[in-house]
Structure 1
Amino acid sequence: MSMESYIHLARAPAPGMPIVFSFHGTGGDEHQFPGLIGQILPGAGIVSPRGDVSEHGANRFFRRTAEGVYDMADLAERSRKMAGFIRAHRAAQPGVPVWGLGYSNGANILAAVLFQAPDLFDRAVLMHPLIPFAPAPQPGLRGLPVLITAGRRDPICPLPETEALRDYLAAQGAQVDLALHEGGHEIRPEELQRVAAVLQRGVA
């Protein structure tokens, strides 16, 4: 798969810094998170693809047939395509740590890639994910640090689904942490503090 499979923003990392892949939510684009990542982790490399599915004009990373109802065949195909894109960028920066951050639909495509190819990421942040299906066992997730953030009252990503994803990741041996706020689908300041702590951990 090509490094140019998606319209994207890319910035090379400073020496000793990781590359952070960022994945926007529905209706966002490749500009949604690079600025935030740059504030949290100056010098980090960034690869930020734009979803190549249009839902009534809103960018997404895979199709759905209704709210919370995924086109599973399309999700599998789009996940393979994204995994190839990520692998190509990894190959261009050998030895550089690779982290992933996604929000909402972006968290879902990141999670789907992790289910298929957990070797692509050294650290992952899933903000308000919704995985309304039971992923297959994936022993390659063992030891992977994963932060999940969510709102207790999120109408789009119900808390039981979030907890089920946490439990699945924990069962695979991932180092999973769940950070909840009292709101809904919005990203809150205390949530960003947790995200920043994960991204900055171990970075000089």
Structure 2
Amino acid sequence: MSLDAYHHIARRSEPGAPLVFTFHGTGGDEHQFTGLVAQLLPGAGLVAPRGDVLEHGANRYFRRTGEGVYDMADLATRTAKMTGFISAHRAANPGVPVYALGYSNGANILASVLFGAPDLFDRVVLMHPLIPWKPAPNPALASVSVLLTAGKRDPICPLPLTQALADYLREQGAPLTLSLHDGGHELRQTELDAIAGFLTPGA
């Protein structure tokens, strides 16, 4: 486990506020969701790692050989690395609720960590993930609240795969909220509203 396994932004939580991990999409960086977190959760801590794989100059968290075709061995290696990174930061912030949100490629690496180590998180937001494999069962997912968002006409993350992921999470007993909009791979205001409600329950 290493606090510095990735180039990242880190700031500590104010008392009573959560620690939020953010994971950017392909071509994004560690700054992609800092403003959103500050807006939704003032006082929250932040850990935002930059993907350490370059695809034609674009930051990513793992390699792929084509659109929607993952290098599964590389994904496994980088999932283990990210799990260690998250574990180290969680250990450095004992007793603090841990939230995480990821978009597109960031949602994919976050989901891959979640499938194997759900105990690292209290709440997880997966925005437009593409999971083209069947994850192994893990009943410990029942302890994590998950918001899954997607576009019904997303050409990158087809709706049947989104629905398959939702079915898998429900089968594991995870408290799941599914929020779909009528568009494609873009983030829409209805989606951001759903994220705000999910990360600030009872606000």
Question: For this structure pair, what is the TM-score category when the shorter chain's length is used for normalisation?
Answer: over 0.9
| Structure 1 vs Structure 2 CA RMSD | 0.7
Q: TM-score, normalised by structure 2?
A: 0.99
Distance in 2 between residues matched to 1:15 and 1:169, nearest whole Å: 31
Partner of residue 55, structure 1: 55
Q: How does 1:89-108 map to 2 (within 5 A)?
A: 89-108=89-108
**Distance in 1 (alpha carbons) for counterparts of 2:98 and 2:179:** 22
Gaps of 5+ in 1: none
| CA deviation profile, 1:24-54 (whole Å, cap 9, x unmatched) | 0000000000111101111010100000000
Indicate whether 1:180 and 2:180 are aligned.
yes
Pairing 1:8–2:8 present:
yes
Query: How far off its partner does 1:167 sit?
Result: 0.2
1:132 has 2:135 as partner: no
For 1:193 and 1:55, how far apart are their aligned partners in 2? 31
Task: Report the equivalent of 1:36.
Answer: 36
Corresponding residue of 2:144: 144
Aligned length: 203
Match of 1:117 in 2: 117
Structure 1 residues 115-158: Cα deviation after superposition (integer angstroms, max 9, x where no partner): 11110001100000000000011111013110000000000000
Q: Which amino acid aligns with 2:53?
A: V
**SS of equivalent residue, structure 2 residue 107:** helix
User: 2:191 maps to what in 1?
Assistant: 191
Give the Cα separation in 2 of the matches to 1:93 and 1:74: 29
1:100 match: secondary structure: strand
Residues 31-79 of structure 1: CA deviation (Å, up to 9, x unaligned): 0001111011110101000000000100000000100000001101100
Unaligned runs of 5+ in 2: none
Tell me the CA shift for residue 202 of structure 1: 4.4
- The match for 2:23 is 23
Percentage of identical aligned residues: 69
1:55 is aligned with what amino acid? E
Runs of 4+ in 1 over 3 A off after TM superposition: none
Distance across 2 between alignment mates of 1:138 and 1:111 = 13
- CA offsets 1:143-192 (integer angstroms, 9 cap, x no match): 31100000000000000000000000000000011100000000001100
Equivalent position of 2:166 in the other structure: 166
**SS of equivalent residue, structure 1 residue 108:** helix
Residue 85 of structure 1: aligned partner: 85
Counterpart code for 1:94: P
1:89 CA drift (Å) = 0.3
Distance in 2, Cα, partners of 1:75 & 1:39: 32
Q: Distance in 1 between matches of 2:82 and 2:138?
A: 18
Structure 2 Cα separation of the partners of residues 143 and 92 of structure 1: 21
Conserved 8 A contact 2:118-2:143: no
TM norm structure 1:
0.98
* Larger mean Cα displacement after TM superposition, 177-186 or 134-143: 134-143
